[in-house]
Amino acid sequence: MATIKQLQSTLKLTFGLVPIIAGLDKYTNLLTNWADYLNKSLIPIDAMLFMKIVGVVEIIAGLLVLIRPLIGAYIVMIWLICIALQLILMGHYLDVAVRDLVMAIGAYTLAQLTKMAPAKG
């Protein structure tokens, strides 16, 4: 049976590495064309520039999860909810919006497990 610490470690790696990878991919678009998921009418700058800024935010959020999992998990949770709401308002990629909401629940779970895990030292 997995311990709280093991579950927390798994979620910490997941919610740390995935945002970093997605953030880096905002510069290469190897996984997808990220600008397609953007409601371009809501932003006053070039979509690709905006996505590069998003990439930096995602990299920072992922690093925060790895360094300070409690704070980082809440930031990632809020970020994922915002992405999902943007997709819902756009009326496209609703499957991705649902996936992001489920991932937000996972990030919330990481935060709660981090509160429960005994402190180091």
Instruction: Summarize pLDDT for 31-45 with one digit per residue, the tens.
Output: 999 999 888 888 899
Widest Cα–Cα separation across the chain: 51
CA dihedral for 17, 19, 24, 25, sign (positive or negative): positive
Instruction: Summarize pLDDT for 100-111 with one digit per residue, the tens.
Output: 999 999 999 999
Whether 95 contacts 102, CB under 8 Å: no
Instruction: Summarize pLDDT for 43-80 with one digit per residue, the tens.
Output: 899 999 999 999 999 999 999 999 999 999 999 999 99
